[in-house]
Chain A
Amino acid sequence: MDGNLNALTTVFTEFYYWVTVVFMFLIHVGFCMYEVGASRARNHMHTLMKNIMIIPLVTVTFFFFGWWIYWAFPNFPFWGGLDAEAGAANLPWADTMATNLGDRITGVFWAAFLLFSWTAASIVSGSVIERIRSSALWVHAVMIGSVWWIIDAAWGWHYGGWMVRLLGYHDAYASGVIHAIAGGYALGVIMVLGPRLGKFSKDGTPRDIPPHNPWLLTIGIFLIYTGFWGFYAACNVPAISPEAIDGQITGVTWTATNIYLAPTTLSAITFNFLMSLSGGLMAAYVVSKGDAFWTFSGGLAGIITASAGNDLYHPIQAMIIAAVGVVIVYNLHYWVERRFKLDDAVGAVAVHGYAGVVGLVISGFVLWGVPSSPYEGYATINPVGQITGAVIMFFVLGFLPGWILAKIQSAAGVLRIPEEVELMGLDYAEHHAYEDAKAAIIAADKEELAARGVAAK
Chain B
Amino acid sequence: MSTNGYTSWAVDLAEVGPIYPFQGYEVLMVIVGVVFWIGWHRIQFVREGEHLEKARHTGDEEKVKAQLERY
Q: Which residues of A contact B (CB under 8 A)?
A: 242, 247-253, 255, 262-264, 268, 279, 282, 285-286, 289-290, 312-314, 316-317, 319-320, 323, 366-371, 373-374, 376, 380
Query: With A316-B32, A366-B3 known to touch, is A250 a contact of B10 (CB < 8 Å)?
Result: yes
Q: Which of A247, A249, A312, A373 contacts B20 (CB 8 A)?
A: A312
Quick check: B36 and A370 within 8 Å, CB to CB?
Answer: no
Q: Which residues of B contact A (CB under 8 A)?
A: 1-4, 6-16, 19-22, 26, 29-30, 32-33, 36-37, 40, 43-44, 47
Quick check: A312 and B13 within 8 Å, CB to CB?
Answer: no
Give Cα distance in the complex from A337 to B63, angstroms: 33
Give Cα distance in the complex from A242 to B2, angstroms: 22
Closest chain A residue, CB of each to CB of B8? A371
25 contacts between A and B (CB under 8 A): A249-B10, A253-B14, A255-B13, A262-B9, A263-B13, A263-B16, A264-B19, A282-B36, A282-B37, A286-B43, A314-B29, A319-B36, A366-B22, A367-B4, A368-B2, A369-B2, A369-B3, A369-B7, A370-B6, A371-B2, A371-B6, A371-B7, A371-B8, A371-B9, A376-B8
Quick check: B29 and A317 within 8 Å, CB to CB?
Answer: yes
- Report the minimal beta-carbon distance from B5 to chain A, rounded to whole angstroms: 9
Quick check: B9 and A286 within 8 Å, CB to CB?
Answer: no
- For B44, what are the chain A residues with a Cβ–Cβ distance below 8 Å? 285-286
Query: With A286-B40, A317-B29, A373-B9 known to touch, is A312 a contact of B4 (CB < 8 Å)?
Result: yes
Quick check: A248 and B2 within 8 Å, CB to CB?
Answer: no
Quick check: A253 and B12 within 8 Å, CB to CB?
Answer: yes
- For A250, what are the chain B residues with a Cβ–Cβ distance below 8 Å? 10-12
- For A282, what are the chain B residues with a Cβ–Cβ distance below 8 Å? 36-37, 40
Quick check: B22 and A369 within 8 Å, CB to CB?
Answer: no
Apart from A263-B16, A317-B29, A369-B1, what 12 extra A-B contacts exist at CB < 8 Å? Answer: A249-B10, A250-B10, A251-B11, A253-B12, A264-B19, A282-B40, A285-B40, A312-B4, A312-B21, A319-B36, A323-B36, A370-B7
- For A314, what are the chain B residues with a Cβ–Cβ distance below 8 Å? 20-22, 26, 29
Quick check: A313 and B21 within 8 Å, CB to CB?
Answer: yes
Closest chain A residue, CB of each to CB of B10? A248
- Report the minimal beta-carbon distance from B2 to chain A, rounded to whole angstroms: 3
Query: With A366-B21, A380-B2 known to touch, is A251 a contact of B14 (CB < 8 Å)?
Result: yes
Quick check: A247 and B4 within 8 Å, CB to CB?
Answer: no
- For B43, what are the chain A residues with a Cβ–Cβ distance below 8 Å? 286
- Report the minimal beta-carbon distance from A401 to chain B, rounded to whole angstroms: 34
Q: Which of A368, A369, A370, A373 has the most CB of B within 10 A?
A: A370
Closest chain A residue, CB of each to CB of B1? A369
Give Cα distance in the complex from A373 to B12, angstroms: 15
Quick check: A247 and B3 within 8 Å, CB to CB?
Answer: no
Give Cα distance in the complex from A370 to B9, angstroms: 9
Quick check: B7 and A319 within 8 Å, CB to CB?
Answer: no
- Report the minimal beta-carbon distance from B12 to chain A, rounded to whole angstroms: 3
- For B11, what are the chain A residues with a Cβ–Cβ distance below 8 Å? 249-251
- Report the minimal beta-carbon distance from A114 to chain B, rounded to whole angstroms: 30
Q: Which of B14, B32, B36, B44 has the most CB of A within 10 A?
A: B36
Give Cα distance in the complex from A374 to B6, angstroms: 11
Give Cα distance in the complex from A366 to B22, angstroms: 8
Quick check: A249 and B14 within 8 Å, CB to CB?
Answer: no
Closest chain A residue, CB of each to CB of B20? A314
Give Cα distance in the complex from A252 to B30, angstroms: 34
- The 7 A-B pairs of least Cβ separation, nearest first, read A251-B12, A369-B2, A248-B10, A253-B13, A314-B20, A374-B9, A316-B29
- For A242, what are the chain B residues with a Cβ–Cβ distance below 8 Å? 13
- Report the minimal beta-carbon distance from A155 to chain B, rounded to whole angstroms: 21
- For A249, what are the chain B residues with a Cβ–Cβ distance below 8 Å? 9-13
- For B4, what are the chain A residues with a Cβ–Cβ distance below 8 Å? 312, 367, 370
- For B36, what are the chain A residues with a Cβ–Cβ distance below 8 Å? 279, 282, 319-320, 323
- Report the minimal beta-carbon distance from B25 to chain A, rounded to whole angstroms: 9
Give Cα distance in the complex from A249 to B26, angstroms: 27
- Report the minimal beta-carbon distance from A327 to chain B, rounded to whole angstroms: 12
Quick check: B10 and A317 within 8 Å, CB to CB?
Answer: no
Give Cα distance in the complex from A316 to B19, angstroms: 14
- For B33, what are the chain A residues with a Cβ–Cβ distance below 8 Å? 316, 319-320
Closest chain B residue, CB of each to CB of A263? B13
- For A376, what are the chain B residues with a Cβ–Cβ distance below 8 Å? 8, 10
- For B9, what are the chain A residues with a Cβ–Cβ distance below 8 Å? 247-249, 262-263, 371, 373-374
